C-alpha cells in the first residue's frame, strides 16, 4: 500500500524514495513511457534507462485479469490505484514471470495526473505476506534455519529447494548457489549419488523413510566427511510426494575416535575380544586372529566357548548375572592357551571385564601372550646366572656403587683382596670409605667424567692403593666405568686386580738381575784370583830359591842365618796361601774320593783366618780325632764350609766366637758337624727361606742369595742333611750330617759362590 503522502510528489523525490526499495519499482509518465527504474527493477528487467530510451510499460507488463488484456498503466489511470493486481512481467532472460503490482497515480504542481508509479512483487511473496501465514512460515523457517544438524530439501528432480546454514557450513556451498539448480549429488558427491542407488531417490520412489545410514560425503574442497543420514519424503495436502529431505549428522569425531581405538587395538600385542549377551564374538582385533588362527571375519559371531576353556565360559556367565547397571566386574588370571588351529603350545595371561553399555551387557577379554616372555625369562635367568658366575668367580675384585655411594655388588675377588665379606659391605655406604679414600673416590669420578684418562664414562687401568680390613695398604690396578640408563647416571663399577704378587715377582726378578750381575762379577773375580795366584807363585818360587842359596853361603854367620830362615818361612807361608787359593778357585771335575773332613775344616780356617773379617773372631774347634773318612768331593765340601763360616762371620759383624764341632755317630754310621756362632740368630719369619735361591738379607750388590742354596744342594748331592736353628743362649747353629757311604752316582756341579 502506497502512503497517501506520496500521491503528490515530484519525480525526483519519488525516485529517491524508491531507489533502495527491496522490490522492483518503476515510474511511467501519462503516455505510459518508463521514465525510472530502481535498482531491483533494473536487475529484474536486465537494463538501465537512458534519457534517449523510448520504452513503454506495456512492453514489459501485462495484466492477468480475466477478460482483460489492458496495459497496467491504463488501468492505473482508470482506477487511480492498484493493489496486488496480477500481472506478467518479462524478465531479463525473456521469461514471463507471474507477479503482482501495486500502483498509484501522482500529480504535477497543477494537480493534473502526471504519471503512475508501481511496485512489483512475486505472487508467492504476496501469499506469505498474509499475517497468519507469514507467522506460520516464519516459525517454520526459524525451525529449519536453527535445526542443529545440517538439513536440506529437494524437488522431485533432486534439485536443492532449501538448505539451512549448518548444511552450508558442512558442504561449503551457499544457499544462493544451490537453489539455482544444483542437485543433492552435486553437493554431497557420494559414490551412490547420480545413480539408481541414490538414497533420496529410493526414498521418494518407495515412500519409505530411512535412518542411521552411514555415508561419506565430500565438501566443496574435496575433503571427505563421514556422516549419518536420515531421509524422508515431502507431501502436499493430498499426500502426493512433492520432494524429499535429509538431515545429516557429522560423525567425524566419532569416526576419528573409532579409528584411534582401532589403531590402538590393532597395534597392541595383546589379543582383544568383545562378546555380547549371547556369548557371541562382536569384536576381535588382528592379534586375536593370530592367537586363535581364525580370520577376523570368522571370529565375528563365533561362540566364545570355541575359543576359551569351558570353566572360563562359566566365569563369564557368572559375572554377567552379577553385573549391576553401570557397574563393571573384572577377573584376571593365567589360563590354558586358547584353542589354536596350528596346535602350538602357548601361555597367556587374561583379564575379563563385564560391563553394561546402554541396555546391553558386553564382556571384554584381554589376552597377553606370555610364551615369549617366559622363554626370555628362562634365557635371561641362564644368562644372569652365567654372568654372575663369571663375575663371582673372577679373581679380580668387582664393586658396583650407586650414585649415593651405597655398595650394590661385592664379588668374591673383592672379598679375597680386601678381606671384607659381601654381607659386610653391600648396602653400607660407610664401609666403602674404609677401604676407598673419599678424596681418591672424588678424583676417580672427576677422571671418569673427563677426556683426560679415556673416553668419558670410562677410566683406563691405573695403579691405586686400597686399605684392607686389617688396615694394610693393598696395591691394585684399577679401572672403572659409569653405568647409565637413558643418559642418566645410576651407578659406577670398579674392577681391580691385586698387584702384590706381581710386585713381589718383579722385585725378585730385579733382585735376581742384580744378583746375577754380582755373581758374574764374583765368577770373574775367581778367575782373576786364580790368574793372580799363578803369577804370584812364580816370584815366590824365585825368592825361596835364592833365599836357600844365601842360607847355604852364610852358614857361618848366625845373624844372617836367622834372618834368612825367617824369610824362607814367610815365603813358604805365602806359597801355602797361594796354593789354597788355587785349590779353592779350581773347578773340580767332581770325582768321588775319600777325604778327612777335619782336614778340610782345618784348611778352611787357615785360608780365612788371615782375612780382615776374621781378626776379631775366635775359632773354637771341637774336632773328634781319627774320624772315618767320607766319600765325596773335598773341593765342594770346602766350598760348603767356607760359605757357612763366612755367613757366621757376617752375622757376628766380624766379632765373636765360632764353635766348630765334628763327631762320629756310630749307631747311625754318620759324621756330624756343627757350626755355632754367637751372633743375633736368624729371625723366625725367614728361618724357612734362607735356603731358597736368591734369598738374601743383604743390600743389593753385597750378596747374591745363592750361597746357602748352593750349600744345601751340595749337601743333598752328598746325601747329607743340613739343618739350622737358633740357640737358646743366642746365635745360629748349622748342623750337617753325612753318611759314610753314598748310594747314588755323584753328579758334577762345580761352584764358586760367595754370599
Which residue matches cell numbers 616372555?
Answer: 373
With a cut of 60, say whether residue 747 has pLDDT above it: no
What is the C-alpha radius of gyration for the chain, rounded to an integer number of angstroms?
66
- Biggest distance spanned by C-alpha atoms of the chain: 215
The per-residue pLDDT for 591 is 64
Q: Which residues contact 662 (CB under 8 A, 6 or more apart)?
A: 597, 598, 601, 622, 623, 624, 627, 671, 672, 673, 674
Residue 662 is predicted with a pLDDT of: 94
Where do the DSSP E strands lie in 502-648? 593-595, 616-623, 630-632
Closest CA to 162 of 239, 222, 246, 226: 246
Give residue 242's pLDDT. 85
CA–CA gap between residue 480 and residue 20 (Å, rounded): 93
Averaged over 106-129, what is the pLDDT?
75
Could you tell me which of 610, 604, 668, 662 has the C-alpha nearest to residue 636? Answer: 604
In this structure, what DSSP letter does residue 327 have?
Answer: -
Which grid coordinates belong to 244? Answer: 524429499
Q: Is the pLDDT of residue 753 over 60?
A: no
Q: What is the pLDDT of residues 153-177, one digit of tens each?
A: 898 889 988 888 899 999 999 888 8
pLDDT, position 7:
40
Mean pLDDT calculated for residue range 685-689:
78
Measured distance between the N- and C-terminal CA atoms of the chain, rounded to whole angstroms: 151
Pick from 55-64, 74-83, 704-713: least confident: 704-713
Nearest to 58 by CA among 43, 74, 82, 45: 74
pLDDT score for 403: 83
pLDDT at 676: 93
Looking from the CA of 370 toward its CB, the CA atoms found within 13 Å total: 15
Q: How far apart are CA 604 and CA 634, in angstroms?
A: 11
Over range 414-420, report the average pLDDT: 88
385-396 residue pLDDT tens: 888 788 777 888
More confident of the two residues 181 and 577: 181
Mean pLDDT of 132-151: 72
Mean pLDDT of 236-260: 86
State residue 694's pLDDT score.
56
Which of 511, 529, 527, 524 shows the shortest CA–CA distance to 703? Answer: 511
CA angle 696, 701, 707 (to 5 degrees): 40
Work out the angle at residue 163's Cα, subtended by the Cα atoms of residues 159 and 164, and round it to the nearest 5 degrees.
175
C-alpha cell at 506: 718383579
* 645-662 CB burial, b ≥16 within 10 A, e <16: bbbbbbbbeeebebbbbb
Round the average pLDDT of the chain to a whole number and report it.
80
Orientation of helix 634-651 relative to helix 558-585, angle to 10°: 100
Give the chain's domains with CATH numbers.
4-128 (3.30.450.20), 131-254 (3.30.450.20), 268-373 (3.30.450.20), 394-497 (3.30.450.20), 503-570 (no CATH), 587-739 (3.30.565.10)
| DSSP 8-state class, residue 361 | E
* Cα–chain center distance at 1: 89
- Give 55-118 as a DSSP string: -BGGGTEEE-STT----HHHHHHHHSEEEEEEEEEE-TTS-EEEEEEEEEEEE-TTS-EEEEEE
Q: At what angle do helices 558-585 and 597-609 cross, to 10 degrees?
A: 110
The rounded distance, in Å, linking the Cα atoms of 229 and 247 is: 6
The answer to whether residues 193 and 216 touch, using CB atoms and an 8 Å cutoff, is: no
Q: What share of the chain is helix, strand, coil (3-state, %, to 5)?
A: 40, 30, 30
Phi, psi of 613 (to 5 degrees): -60, -25
* Most confident residue range from 92-96, 184-188, 268-272, 692-696: 184-188
* DSSP letters for 122-168: EHHHHHHTSHHHHHHHHHHHHHHHT-SS-EEEE-TT-BEEEE-HHHH
Which residues, in sequence order, are CB contacts of 46 under 8 Å at separation 6+?
91, 92, 93
Please give the pLDDT value at position 334. 65
Q: Pick from 187, 247, 242, 174: which is nearest to 217 by CA?
A: 187
pLDDT of amino acid 643: 86
pLDDT of residue 675: 94
Neighbours of 293 (CB within 10 A): 15
Phi, psi dihedrals of residue 725, rounded to the nearest 5°? -155, 160
Contact (CB, 8 A) for 496 and 477? yes
Q: Is residue 702 predicted with pLDDT exceeding 60?
A: no
Which cell numbers in the block locate residue 32?
505510459
**In contact, 162 and 152? CB cutoff 8 Å:** yes
Q: Of 57-66, 403-412, 502-511, 746-755, which range is least confident?
A: 746-755
The residue whose grid cell reads 562359566 is: 314
State the average pLDDT over residues 288-298: 85
Q: Is 541 helix (H, G, I), strand (E, B) or coil?
A: helix
- Phi, psi values for residue 433, rounded to 5°: -85, 0
Q: For residues 634 and 747, is the Cβ–Cβ distance under 8 A?
A: no
The pLDDT, as a whole number, for residue 730 is 87
Q: Provide the 10 A C-beta neighbour count for residue 133.
A: 11
Residue that the C-alpha cell 743340613 belongs to: 722
Please say whether the beta carbons of 397 and 414 come within 8 A. yes
pLDDT at 480: 86
C-alpha dist (Å) from residue 280 to 24, 301, 306:
69, 5, 10
Q: Which grid coordinates are listed for 461?
A: 687401568
Q: How open is the CA angle 623-629-633, to the nearest 5 degrees?
A: 105
**SS3 label, residue 291:** helix
Which 3 state secondary structure label does DSSP give 459? Answer: strand
Nearest Cα residue to 412 out of 429, 427, 390 = 390
Sign of the C-alpha dihedral computed for residues 224, 230, 231 and 234 taken in this order:
negative
Q: Is 580 helix (H, G, I), strand (E, B) or coil?
A: helix
Amino acid at each position: 500500500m502506497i502512503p497517501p503522502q506520496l500521491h503528490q510528489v515530484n519525480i525526483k523525490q519519488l525516485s529517491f524514495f524508491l531507489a533502495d526499495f527491496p522490490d522492483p519499482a518503476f515510474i511511467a509518465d501519462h503516455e505510459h513511457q518508463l521514465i525510472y527504474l530502481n535498482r531491483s527493477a533494473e536487475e529484474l528487467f536486465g537494463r538501465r534507462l537512458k534519457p534517449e530510451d523510448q520504452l513503454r510499460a506495456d512492453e514489459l507488463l501485462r495484466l492477468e485479469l480475466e477478460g482483460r488484456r489492458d496495459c497496467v498503466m491504463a488501468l492505473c489511470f482508470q482506477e487511480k490505484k492498484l493493489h496486488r493486481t496480477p500481472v506478467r512481467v518479462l524478465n531479463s532472460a525473456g521469461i514471463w514471470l507471474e507477479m503482482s503490482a501495486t500502483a498509484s497515480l501522482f500529480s504535477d504542481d497543477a494537480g493534473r495526473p502526471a504519471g503512475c508509479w508501481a511496485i512489483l512483487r512475486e505472487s508467492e511473496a504476496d501469499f506469505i505476506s498474509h499475517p497468519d501465514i507469514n507467522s506460520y512460515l516464519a516459525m517454520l523457517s526459524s525451525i529449519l534455519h536453527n535445526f542443529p544438524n545440517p538439513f536440506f530439501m529437494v524437488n522431485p528432480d533432486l534439485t536443492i529447494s532449501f538448505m539451512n546454514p549448518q548444511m552450508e557450513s558442512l558442504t561449503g556451498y551457499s544457499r544462493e548457489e544451490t537453489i539455482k539448480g544444483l542437485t543433492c549429488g552435486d553437493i554431497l558427491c557420494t559414490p551412490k549419488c547420480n545413480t539408481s542407488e541414490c538414497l533420496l531417490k529410493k526414498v521418494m520412489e518407495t515412500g519409505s523413510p530411512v535412518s542411521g545410514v552411514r555415508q561419506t560425503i565430500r565438501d566443496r574442497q574435496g575433503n571427505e566427511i563421514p556422516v549419518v543420514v536420515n531421509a524422508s519424503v515431502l507431501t502436499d495436502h493430498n499426500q502426493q510426494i512433492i520432494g524429499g529431505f535429509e538431515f545429516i549428522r557429522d560423525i567425524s569425531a566419532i569416526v576419528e575416535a573409532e579409528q584411534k581405538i582401532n589403531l590402538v587395538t590393532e597395534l597392541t600385542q595383546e589379543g582383544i575380544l568383545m562378546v555380547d549377551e549371547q556369548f557371541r564374538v562382536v569384536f576381535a582385533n588382528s592379534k586375536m586372529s593370530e592367537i586363535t588362527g581364525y580370520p577376523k571375519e570368522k571370529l565375528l559371531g563365533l561362540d566364545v566357548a570355541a575359543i576359551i576353556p569351558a570353566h572360563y565360559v562359566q566365569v563369564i556367565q557368572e559375572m554377567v548375572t552379577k553385573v549391576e547397571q553401570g557397574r563393571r566386574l573384572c577377573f584376571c588370571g593365567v589360563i590354558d592357551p586358547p584353542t589354536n588351529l596350528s596346535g602350538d603350545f602357548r601361555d597367556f595371561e587374561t583379564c575379563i571385564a563385564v560391563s553394561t553399555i546402554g541396555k546391553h551387557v558386553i564382556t571384554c577379554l584381554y589376552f597377553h601372550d606370555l610364551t615369549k616372555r617366559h622363554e626370555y625369562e628362562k634365557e635371561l635367568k641362564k644368562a644372569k646366572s652365567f654372568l654372575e658366575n663369571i663375575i663371582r668367580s673372577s679373581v679380580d675384585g668387582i664393586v658396583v656403587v650407586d650414585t649415593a655411594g651405597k655398595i650394590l655388588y661385592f664379588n668374591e675377588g673383592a672379598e679375597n683382596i680386601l678381606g671384607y665379606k659381601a654381607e659386610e659391605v653391600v648396602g653400607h655406604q660407610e664401609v666403602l670409605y674404609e677401604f676407598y679414600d673419599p678424596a681418591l673416590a672424588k678424583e676417580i669420578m672427576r677422571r671418569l667424567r673427563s677426556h683426560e684418562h679415556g673416553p668419558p664414562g670410562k677410566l683406563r687401568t691405573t695403579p691405586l692403593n686400597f686399605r684392607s680390613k686389617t688396615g694394610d695398604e693393598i696395591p691394585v690396578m684399577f679401572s672403572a666405568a659409569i653405568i647409565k640408563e637413558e643418559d642418566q647416571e645410576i651407578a659406577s663399577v670398579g674392577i681391580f686386580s691385586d698387584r702384590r704378587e706381581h710386585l713381589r715377582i718383579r722385585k725378585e726378578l730385579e733382585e735376581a738381575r742384580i744378583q746375577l750381575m754380582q755373581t758374574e762379577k764374583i765368577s770373574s773375580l775367581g778367575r782373576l784370583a786364580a790368574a793372580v795366584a799363578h803369577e804370584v807363585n812364580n816370584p815366590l818360587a824365585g825368592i825361596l830359591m835364592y833365599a836357600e842359596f844365601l842360607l847355604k853361603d852364610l852358614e857361618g854367620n848366625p845373624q844372617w842365618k836367622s834372618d834368612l830362615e825367617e824369610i824362607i818361612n814367610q815365603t813358604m807361608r805365602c806359597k801355602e796361601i797361594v796354593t789354597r787359593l788355587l785349590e779353592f778357585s779350581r773347578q773340580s771335575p767332581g770325582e768321588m774320593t775319600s777325604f778327612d773332613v777335619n782336614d778340610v775344616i782345618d784348611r778352611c780356617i787357615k785360608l780365612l783366618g788371615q782375612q780382615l773379617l776374621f781378626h776379631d773372631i775366635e775359632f773354637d774347634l771341637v774336632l773328634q780325632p781319627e774320624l772315618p773318612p767320607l766319600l765325596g768331593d773335598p773341593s765342594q765340601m770346602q766350598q760348603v764350609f767356607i760359605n757357612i763360616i763366612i755367613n757366621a762371620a757376617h752375622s757376628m759383624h766380624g766379632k765373636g766366637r765360632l764353635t766348630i764341632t765334628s763327631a762320629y755317630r756310630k749307631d747311625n754310621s754318620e759324621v756330624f758337624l756343627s757350626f755355632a756362632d754367637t751372633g743375633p740368630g736368624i729371625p723366625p719369619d725367614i728361618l724357612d727361606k734362607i735356603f731358597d735361591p736368591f734369598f738374601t738379607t743383604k743390600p743389593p750388590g753385597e750378596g747374591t742369595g745363592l750361597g746357602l742354596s748352593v750349600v744345601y744342594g751340595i749337601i743333598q748331592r752328598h746325601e747329607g742333611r743340613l739343618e739350622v736353628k737358633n740357640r737358646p743362649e743366642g746365635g745360629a747353629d748349622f748342623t750337617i750330617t753325612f753318611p759314610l757311604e753314598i748310594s747314588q752316582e755323584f753328579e758334577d756341579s762345580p761352584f764358586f759362590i760367595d754370599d
